[in-house]
A and B are shown apart, each in its own frame.
Chain A
Amino acid sequence: MFWKYGLFFSILSGGIWGVFWQIFFTVVGILILGTPLSLELSQIMIIGPIAGILYIKSQKHLSIKFHLTAIIIITLLIFVSHLGNPYQAEDENQLIIFMLILLTSFFLWLSLNHSLYNLSPRKLSKHDIESFFIKFMWGIGLIILILITLIPFYIMIITSLKNQQSLILNPLDLSVNLNTDFKTLFNSYIELFTNFNFHLFLINSFIVSCTTVIITLFFSIPGAYALARLRIPNKKIFSGTVILIYLIPSIVLIIPLYAIFSYIGLRNSLFGLILVYPATTIPVALYMLRGYFSALSSEIDDAALMDGLSRIQIILKIAIPLSKPAIVSVGLYVFMIAWNEFLIAFMFLDDPNIFTLSRGIMSLNSSEIPQQHLMAGAVIATIPVMIIFLYLEKFLISGLSAGGVKG
């Protein structure tokens, strides 16, 4: 059977990798140049397999010199096969086109080096075939995964740095002209902070989120300790109820909350938000912290009780210091929930002076306000969460995985 031979796999992976990188660098080229490039795949479908065969046949004498020669050969082949004019681009862009082709061949060869490494061109065992496939899929999968994850963020940032004219003129031009001065480049941001009150929104969001974290921790730490350590009747029912409450979404509560808060006049106020947010986050925090506290050894508590410490003292002097990382991660998680919350802020706040960022960005979503302002707002809302996330990734990941089923 021909498909059990290593040679077949080299042809296959050469073709697939070739097509993949050709598409990838055509898109990159369009984004860099901002001019249309035509996507032609038939040539690479022949050159890719040739490269695959070349690799697998010459595996015994791979050296840096050989790698370089191979890349140059592939580059030349692509040029020749396109009759010297790949992408059918204009002449002035020849240098960039050449770079794109070179990169295509380089990455094609790199990928082949990864997925065909140590593969024999002869008949393969089932084990080898599967290993090859897994290696091959691994490479493609990783690249696609990263691309899919990051593209929307890239679009967000790039769009926020453009001006109306260039957006309409050519939506595909996603390059950033770094030669323009600071003011033109960050025009949307400056506009948002000067004309759209975003400095207020930022402050409001911080006030609401931080207060929510403080209130939540203040109530959930003793509560979680009680659930983890103290002998309370009907503890199981209580814990079950906590989980159930934690599953109730705000959309089910929004109508009565809207009605009640309108009646008592708390609807259009930050105080109203600060009242509602902790109620949605306390059950989550309770659930997460209870797990952490139960994991602490109860012998320390017993020893402390023997020494005459009260339970409150134990919480303050033993439980909290011992579970500091857990409390930090719960706090961060709660901050994230409050910062990202949209529905209640959207329904409650009418007065632009007390908008939180989510509500403020929603007010930018109209046909009169240009897209780049909307995206600049999105970037402003995302950056603080990202900073917290990157800075405290370890804490946050443990927080996410403990309570992250919500959201």
Chain B
Amino acid sequence: MTNIKKKNKNTLLEKEKKLGLILLLPTILIVLSVVIFPLLANFWISFKPVSLGDLRPPKLVVKERIKENLSDKSQLAEIQYRYRNSSIKYDLENVIIKDIIPNGFTVKDLQPAQLCKLKLKELTCNLDNVSSRSSGKIILKVHKNDQWQKELDNPKKTKPLVTFSSKNILTSLEFNTENFKKVFSASEFFEVLKVSFYYTIFGTAGALLFGLLAAQILQKSFRGRSIVRGLLLFPYVSPVIAVAFAWVILFDPFSGIVNSMLVQMNVIDKPINFFGQKYTDIIIFGYVFKFPLALSMVIAFEIWRYFPLSFLFILARMQSFPEEVYDAAKIDGASPLQQFYYISLPFLIGIMSILFLLRFIWTFNKFDDIFLLTGGNAGTRTFTVNVYEQAFAISNLGAGAAVAVVIFIFLLTFSLLFMRYSKKETF
């Protein structure tokens, strides 16, 4: 009896296992093909000297032309095949061009004779190697014979058939570490590293503090609170492209409102290019201090756009907190600041550290915002913008992929930290 029960239980378990895997299979497949495979491909590309142009596979362009008049029987006509290797980088190997010469023609001469053969009506030219950028001609001298029919016998009717093999840099087994050398040795590497961490640390911490502040303000109930809560989420839910361009226009040096307002009020004497100026001098007590303007603006945008998120989390956590504890503290004579410092803060520190780590990872990965605001210029080039810059602006896909690998390694480190930490917290 117990045996049967055990057996039943086991088959049930087996069934569940199977069903579970079936239900998860589509997800696994999609994620494998669109996330994991590209991720591995990125590693692959990062060890190869691939440029944007390599994505267009090399091709042999063949053009067929007819010279001289074909209508006269006695006259010789010429059929020309001009071929050209369109690639500027790769040689083509085992090149074979085939075409059918219509019955109505008799071939008198064939150039180059050593490479081309005419078997029955089939022309086969074994060109072997066609080096990059080179071109050549195959010339057939023909005249019409008795079988010629006007409509059927146009030599252009059959397209020449081309086969060749070529080295493909993407699939070949050639690897080198040039891309990584380039990424790490460049003097800008440390600049990029510095900017990335500045942006990430200040952006994350700023958004978190601002969110905490907003949550404190909105914790108190007042008329219209739910409306204000909705309003504060606007920056986060709107498309990044819309709000980023709104900021650009707001701070535009020529027609931006902020600049003209500051000039009108005599705060500054000439407009400031907020998103285009790397440094601005700030004088404090006679000491000139270089302030990274564009980077700070980008960080300000990051804070503005993402504080609603921290705000939402912190507010939700605060509202789940029992009111009685505060009442008890009040009776004990704790001042509001003491209440905040000794009750609210310890209670919130868990969610805040989780939020900090997660937002840290996401801010580190942020591309759109910086790209849209400054294009990575004026001292705002982070790793993510550098991927784009290397791969698509300089057309060096390999170097871009190498930067992406660096990002991924950072990401992995942060995530492992996060996972270890979040185990202690219920999230």
A residues with CB within 8 A of B? 26-27, 30, 36-39, 126-127, 130-131, 134, 138, 141-142, 145-146, 148-153, 155-156, 159, 167-168, 171-172, 174, 219-220, 222-223, 225-227, 230-233, 238, 240, 243-245, 247-260, 262-263, 275-276, 278-280, 282-283, 286, 311, 336, 339-340, 342-343, 347, 357-358, 361-362, 365, 371, 374-375, 377-379, 381-382, 385-386, 389-390, 393, 396-397, 400-401, 404-407
Contact = CB atoms under 8 A, between A and B. Distances in A.
Contact of B20 (A231, A283, A358, A375): A231
Instruction: Tell me if A's interface is mostly helix, strand, loop or mixed.
Output: helix
A261 to B, nearest CB: 10
Interface stretch (B115-123, B190-198, B240-248, B291-299): B240-248
A375 B30 contact: no
B67 to A, nearest CB: 36
Given A256-B42, A311-B19, A382-B243, 8 more contacts: A146-B231, A256-B45, A257-B34, A259-B45, A260-B38, A278-B30, A311-B16, A397-B233
A142 B245 contact: no
Q: Which of B236, B237, B246 has the most CB of A within 10 A?
A: B237
A84 to B, nearest CB: 22
Contacts of B207: none
Nearest to B419: A240
The list of the 7 closest CB pairs from A to B, nearest first, reads A279-B34, A249-B365, A378-B242, A256-B41, A230-B20, A256-B38, A222-B23
Contacts of B39: 248, 252-253, 256
B230 A401 contact: no
Contacts of A385: 237-239
A9 to B, nearest CB: 15
10 contacts: A30-B261, A231-B13, A243-B415, A251-B388, A252-B365, A263-B170, A385-B239, A404-B309, A405-B359, A407-B236
Contacts of A379: 242
Interface string B299-313: 000001000010011
A232 B21 contact: yes
B362 interface: yes
Contact of A226 (B23, B220, B313): B23
Interface string B169-185: 01000000000000000
A151 B118 CA distance: 78
A390 B384 CA distance: 33
B283 interface: no
Contacts of B309: 400, 404-405, 407
A280 B27 CA distance: 11
A361 B110 CA distance: 58
B335 A223 contact: no
B241 A362 contact: yes
Contacts of B355: 405
A172 B250 CA distance: 11
A400 B336 contact: no
A171 B238 contact: no
A248 B415 CA distance: 10
Contact of A282 (B30, B235, B387): B30
B312 A141 contact: no
Contacts of B33: 279
A316 to B, nearest CB: 12
Among B38, B220, B264: residue with most chain A CB under 10 A: B38
Contacts of B170: 259, 263
A84 B57 CA distance: 78
Contact of A407 (B256, B261, B362): B362
Contacts of A150: 231, 234
B245 A374 contact: yes
B41 A252 contact: no
Contacts, number: 285
Which of B220, B235, B238: most chain A Cβ within 10 A? B238
Interface stretch (B72-80, B92-100, B403-411): B403-411
Contact of B243 (A152, A276, A278): A152
Contact of A253 (B38, B257, B313, B335): B38
Contact of B27 (A255, A286, A311, A340): A286
A245 B31 contact: yes
Contact of A275 (B34, B236, B400, B401): B34
B167 interface: no
A227 to B, nearest CB: 7
B237 A251 contact: no
A253 to B, nearest CB: 5
A256 B26 contact: no
Contacts of A159: 249
A343 B367 contact: yes
Contacts of B397: 255, 259
B24 interface: yes
A221 to B, nearest CB: 9
Interface string B387-403: 11001100001001100
Interface in B34-76: 34-39, 41-42, 44-45, 50, 55, 57
